[in-house]
Structure 1
Amino acid sequence: MKTKIYSIIAIILTVTMWGLSFLSIKITLNVFGPMTLATLRFLIASIILFVVMKIKEPETKLQREDVKCMSMAGIVGVAIYYCFENYGVKYISSSQASLIIGTIPIFSLIVDSIILKNKLSFNNVIGVLLSIFGIYFIIGGNIRLESNELLGYIFMFGAVFSWVFYNYATKELFEKYSQLAIVFYQIVFGTAVLIPFALFENNNWHLINDVVIYNFLYLAILCSAISYVLYMYALENLGSTVTTLYLNFAPVVTVLGGYFIFNETISKNQMIGVILIVLSVYVVNLKISYYDILKMIKSRRVNKKSYKIDSK
């Protein structure tokens, strides 16, 4: 029970940091190009995690037979995902980008049912539907598909599919490695792939100031190093379906962060969307479903009838 509670706390902290990260990405992209931003933040994260690995797990080594799986997960979950995400945030608002990331649980459930043949429970279906309606209300139903905006949406959905694949590619690694080791090796592989692309990118170095530096450090230390370890801990103990459903909180955090940090107004529709998204996560985690309740009611009626018969 304690493990589940700790895992839920871990994923809530992770989603909070990742939700606010969209605001920081928007700020830092004024200076760094999308590939450069991803490279620098994960380069710093790699150094931090290397030190932690040497202290916590000095004997841990990546086995040759796991290099392919670990590198593939790192390339997709770090290099490709953040390439898509950074370019997406460049062309659309941070709130819109975060909202699309909120669809990851929907695609995860669908992939679960197709690849793993997992039957969707009633709670999962209701949770997905609530999530879809919540995202619709937050967007407001007014998506303008202009050239750059459409490109931004395409990039963000590329990030969504990358993350779904990343979750499945990482699953089998839990049997042999700790969360810390998995995150470290994946970030190293992802960063190695990003570096060549960043070298040919133009950056506005002259625009660097304290605000940009603070937001960059937040992305590098909290969002890239610490939050990844927390996410892996939650993923191992809660499973990919439940864990990714918590990602629905990211747009909620982004919208609230925009309100308190950038003084952005929250409309009535957005508030409805926030409530629906929170409710969707709650419904999916309910141990009892609508069908269970019906069975209980039916069973109770049967028991009452049998009691009347016996009394006669």
Structure 2
Amino acid sequence: MESKKTLSLIAIMITSTVWGLSLLSVKVIVDVIPPMTMTFFRFLIGSLVLSIIYMIKEKEKKLDKKDIPMFILSGASGVSAFIYFQNSAVQFISASSASIIVAAIPIFVLIAEVIVFKTKLSNKKIISVILSFIGVYFIVGYDSSLASSDSFKGYLMMFGAVIAWVVYSIATKPLYKKYSQISIVYFQTLFGTSVLIPSIFVETAKWSLVNNVIILNLLFLGIFCSAIAYYLYVYAMEHLGISTTALFLNLIPVITVVSSYFILKEKIGIYHIIGGALVVTSVYLANIKGKSGEEKLVEEGELKKAT
């Protein structure tokens, strides 16, 4: 159990890093390939990669017809809706500004878990979420352009992304009882990509402007951010619980800001440093050893429901 937890922590750290970098790639691509079309090709590439992994790890394809609606719901929310809203948002607000909305995900997931699964939350986990949210606010700061209609639309899109991810997390949890991590991600991506097919006929991409930079960023989004990262996220969610795993999403803004500094040459102020320290501390606090009896009961309850 301890080794699985360690692997899960490594998996979610890798996922957070990759998804933190993904916002930069989206920013590069979205002016050439519109949101829904980009999302379709991103997950089409991801589906091809996952198909290879699925064929190797799962010799027999078994999908219970009764579970198809749940796969469609989780795929449409976590694949289609979440990425579409995120891609649309960065057309109107900066990548770092969009990342602060991602910080709200753990809070909404915690609320949804309590409502849907009647999960009891430890005081330490609640404090960790609050602390991490404060840290992310320090990192991205207040966006003074919020008053403009474009900025408001961007934030509204990101709020839609948050809701989509909460639905994805809740819809995915019951699937652990019957399917492996790779099966879950494979079928979710397959159904999610299928939902996006009409988008390529609705939007107009500037194909003449597509160059090697656009292609490489799209491949990064498809292979690493969609196929590999989603698989690692589901693996971590199974062994850590959905609320603890969602807490690590607060590392995404930290990674986005730091990578923006090195790649886009953006400046990092004292508030970024303070915020980053708060986020890292919150993640450490949520996973520190020597848990109380209350916290052990909470985690054991989550694992029993997931297995």
Q: CA deviation at 1:60?
A: 2.3
Aligned partners of 1:268, 1:157: CA distance in 2, in Å?
27
1:163 to 162, 165, 168: 165
Q: CA deviation at 1:288?
A: 4.5
Q: CA deviation at 1:290?
A: 9.0
What secondary structure is seen at the aligned counterpart in 2 of 1:50?
helix
Residue segments in structure 2 that go unaligned for 5+ positions in a row: 295-307
After superposition, residues 173-188 of structure 1 pair within 5 angstroms as 173-188=175-190
RMSD: 1.6
Aligned partners of 2:119, 2:183: CA distance in 1, in Å?
29
For 1:4, the equivalent position in structure 2 comes to 5
Whether the 8 Å contact between 1:30 and 1:207 is mirrored in structure 2 is: no
For 1:24, the equivalent position in structure 2 comes to 25
Residue 238 (1) aligns with residue 240 (2):
yes
For 1:106, the equivalent position in structure 2 comes to 107
For 1:172, the equivalent position in structure 2 comes to 174
Aligned partners of 2:114, 2:45: CA distance in 1, in Å?
38
After superposition, residues 64-213 of structure 1 pair within 5 angstroms as 64-145=65-146, 146-213=148-215
Aligned partners of 1:39, 1:88: CA distance in 2, in Å?
17
Superposition misfits of 4+ residues, deviation over 3 angstroms:
287-292
Q: Cα deviation per residue 1:23-48 (whole Å; 9 max; x = unaligned)?
A: 00000112100001000010111122
Q: CA deviation at 1:115?
A: 3.1
Residue segments in structure 1 that go unaligned for 5+ positions in a row: 293-312
Residue 13 (1) aligns with residue 14 (2):
yes
Q: CA deviation at 1:74?
A: 0.6
Q: CA deviation at 1:287?
A: 4.3
Whether the 8 Å contact between 1:123 and 1:284 is mirrored in structure 2 is: yes
Whether the 8 Å contact between 2:85 and 2:160 is mirrored in structure 1 is: yes
What percent identity do the matched residue pairs reach? 47
Aligned partners of 1:72, 1:177: CA distance in 2, in Å?
16
Higher radius of gyration, 1 or 2: 1
Aligned partners of 2:5, 2:231: CA distance in 1, in Å?
16
For 1:266, the equivalent position in structure 2 comes to 268
Whether the 8 Å contact between 1:42 and 1:224 is mirrored in structure 2 is: yes
Aligned partners of 2:104, 2:282: CA distance in 1, in Å?
12
Whether the 8 Å contact between 1:123 and 1:289 is mirrored in structure 2 is: no
Q: Indicate how the Cα distance of structure 1 residues 161 and 26 shifts in structure 2: closer, same or farther if over 3 A, else same.
A: same
For 1:297, the equivalent position in structure 2 comes to none
Q: CA deviation at 1:286?
A: 2.8
Q: How many residues align?
A: 292
Whether the 8 Å contact between 1:123 and 1:286 is mirrored in structure 2 is: no
Amino acid at match of 1:157: F
Q: CA deviation at 1:98?
A: 1.7
Amino acid at match of 1:155: M
Residue 34 (1) aligns with residue 35 (2):
yes
Normalised by the size of structure 2, how large is the TM-score?
Answer: 0.91
Whether the 8 Å contact between 1:25 and 1:89 is mirrored in structure 2 is: yes
Normalised by the size of structure 1, how large is the TM-score?
Answer: 0.90
